[in-house]
Chain A
Amino acid sequence: MGIIELQDVHKVYPLGKVEVPAVKGVTFSIEKGDFVSIAGPSGAGKSTILNMIGLIDTPTSGEVIIDGKPTSGLSDKELTRFRHEVLGFVFQSFNLIPVLNVWENIEFPLLLGKTRIKPSEKNDWIDWLIKEVGLTEWRNHKPNELSGGQRQRVAIARALVTKPYIVLADEPTANLDSATGEQIIELMKKINRELQTTFIFSTHDAKIVAVADHIIRLQDGLVIENTRRGVDSTQNDYATQDSTTGE
């Protein structure tokens, strides 16, 4: 069993009197330590799937299983704890807390509850993360004093600070120039190798998709490709769905 499993997940958004299906029955599995790209054009359902894996949105039907635990029916409090302990988030718009400096932004998740980091290790761990993302000289700067790339580095360090099993990144390079975007992906890849943290990121940039060792490609809310590097696990849900619906 993978660290993440999606079983026939549907998501429908009500839009006035109309219901808009965003995800139409998706099933896939992600292994621990994978560097996963969820790819596809705009409106394919990348962010919706990422949100459901991140437990910040719930499926209309189907099940999301994380680390062997089904997540449907969890209370708000349990979901919050799960997100805090198991998941890390990197947002497209960085989403740093404006009144906190680099060091404090990275520290922030550690102040929200129990973590795997011992208090005596905390400062050294944050300092190591800051060094890893190359912001040692910027540690006391506020987010508005940093460039987009630097902000995203802070966001990555913040996502890693609780030593989560999984880091979710929603289009982490969308607001960055291509060179900076590549650097960010390289950084994520490096940490993935060093810490064996599972990274799942959504993107529509083909160059970045190529870096991933597990590609899940979406179209119109369906998986049309699910490929792991070195493993021939290609499926075509889209084709399957297409054949069953006759579209």
Chain B
Amino acid sequence: MSTPTWKNPIVQWVDHRLPIVTFLDHAIVKYPTPRNLNYWWNFGSLAGLILVIMIGTGIILAMSYTPHTSMAFDSVERIMRDVNYGWLIRYLHMNGGSMFFIAVYIHIFRGMYYGSYKEPRELLWIIGIFIFFAMMSTAFLGYVLPWGQMSFWGATVITNLFSIIPFFGESIVQWLWGGFSIDNPTLNKFYSLHYLMPFVIFALVFVHLWALHTHKSSNPLGIEVKGDEDEIPFHPYYTAKDAYGVGLFLIFFLGFTFFAPNFFGEPDNYIEANPLVTPTHIVPEWYFLPFYAILRAVPDNFVDVWGILPVIISAKAAGVIAMFASILLLLVLPWLDTSKVRSAKFRPTYFWLFWLFVIDTIILGFMGAKPAEGTFLLIGRLATAYYFLHLVIFIPLVGKFEKTKPLPESISAAVTAGGSDAKEGS
């Protein structure tokens, strides 16, 4: 790649010493992109935008927030009432968290539907799951900061999960707490980590994009780019398309922020934390609900039935392991999926499995919000079983036995031949 010459002498001077302009030119201007990406491909750049919004609003919040158990709740209320536009900054940050997860969940399901995780994009996918993991910890830590009832009791439930780790569990929990219960040292620690984690995410996003730009975007047809006629430069095509997506997204995001800012929240978190009063139902933020359902789904006698390592694994431990496994399994999805064909467009059986899986996670979400008893628990258990069944049994098998539809010649052939695929690109 030759370094282009730039007309502007200052740009030329800088670029000769630090080829940042050339880099940007390659990365977001000339960057060759499949011509048929549909709107599901907008959510990656949206997630990036939200990350920037979260860091921006977070840093402003940090200027007026006090991480002390006796002052945290009131300091957030001071931000809401006395800091100029503090309510706006805080509501942006609060709803931005939910938006982040909406964007990333759609982004992940997009990857599953179109088989974006397959060779040669396995690492890209794995880094994505790391980002998801880092996001979950960031959001969990942040939710503790306003020191409401759900902050406190959510933190209690989640930190206690670590106690199941053999031998070191107790000490790890005490280290997390910075003492023998959740108290001021815990809040301080969580604040420090909540400030740190977004920058870890930022670094991971950078690596994610590095991997992306190595093999470029996949596309709705899931076939390789065969030549120049299959590609268009990122600018102006996808910059224009992404900008339109940002407009739509902002209407959605700011609609909640201005008109229903507490829609995604729990009323209980407007009651200051009180270690002596346990809320009737402890529920995490909505984006954790499917995993919360899996956590609580494992029956107490699960271990007796299976009789595996009964000394180390208690019922609670089995629940925690199931919950972590549900995420960790996604890391090996590229190898669980045996199909050569990427896109669900050409995989008639997988198409249905995909949507069943989506519905299954939504059911899990519902059950995570309900008390773990009676019918709710039963449904939660069945949905949990299906979750694992899908990933561990159905995905490997369907790739072996499915009769896939014929793939188009090339992207440009499919697009110019007309039909629905052509429209999706526009």
Tell me, yes or no, whether A binds B.
no
Q: Enumerate chain A interface residues (CB-CB to B < 8 A).
A: none
